[in-house]
Amino acid sequence: MKVYISIDMEGVAGIATRDQISRGGHGYPSAQELMTAEANAAVAGAFAGGATAVTINDSHGTMDNLIPSDLDPRARLVLGKPKLQCMAAGVSPDDDVALFIGYHAPAGGPGVLAHTFSAYFTEVRLNGIAASEADVNLMQLSAAGVPLGLVTGDDVTCALVGDRMPGVRTVEVKRALGWSAADSMSPSVACAAIRAASEATVSAAAGLRVPAVPEVLDLEIDLPTLAAADIAQFIPGVRRTGPFTVAATLPNPDAVVGCIVVVYQLTANSMTEHLALVNRR
């Protein structure tokens, strides 16, 4: 029984502000500890549920946030960036079930620290529907034939999972009070709930289904400035569909992720220049 875990930071209990999730922020070291504790809870639950091997992919920001020396030694850790499959790096057709820990709501709507891959994207859509990182990463799992069994995060995230991913367990560790405000469980209580849900999910993994990957993958990204869209449209296969919007029709989920990653890197560079000009005024 092989288990794959992708862990983000924004959906972890006790985390609600940009200072906590950004390297260099005063709250970041404590957030690393909170994230590592939830990772360990998921790993412990997976082994209790019958796992024989667990791989965990650090999927937040710089993708080197987990504290390796504090991580359950039974798990293998995938870390660093760039990685070709980004937040789903390390998943394999040999995996029996996947868990998404610390996930968050998509850009363009409510939820604690809600965004989709980049804080600069105002919305990301797949086939006309606003997409979360969980939605995109689930397609990568499906392409590999791996079912998703558990998602943890805030109430907005869990409600979306319930609507879009029938049969997937959720653990709500906090309630969104705003983009950077939350009513959170105690981290220890959240970890206990995640451990129990992970164990239950892994022990029942044989009953999970793998959703089909859509035959057509039309990606749209709304960008923050005209300059960002000007640059993004130079990517081969990307077209400009509005003043702030670029789009592409992609052949598979990995290509969707690759396009998103390149657009957000170009957008980040564009915004750095934009903000430097604004600050000089």
The pLDDT of residue 271? 75
Q: What pLDDT was estimated at residue 75?
A: 98
pLDDT tens-digit readout, 259-274: 999 999 999 888 766 5
Average pLDDT over residues 147-174: 97
Percent of the chain with pLDDT over 90: 95
Percent of the chain's residues with pLDDT above 70: 96
This prediction has a pTM of 0.94
* 88 — pLDDT class (breaks 50, 70, 90): very high
Neighbours of 64 (CB within 10 A): 15
- Other CB atoms within 10 Å distance of the CB of residue 201: 25
Mean pLDDT of 34-45: 98
Q: For residue 87, is pLDDT > 90?
A: yes
CB 84, CB 91: distance < 8 Å: no
Q: Which domains does the chain have, with CATH numbers?
A: 2-207 (3.40.50.10780), 217-280 (3.30.1360)
pLDDT reading at 280 higher than 70: no
Outline where the chain has alpha helix (H).
Answer: 18-21, 28-48, 133-144, 155-164, 187-203, 226-232, 253-280
Beta bridge partners of 152: 171
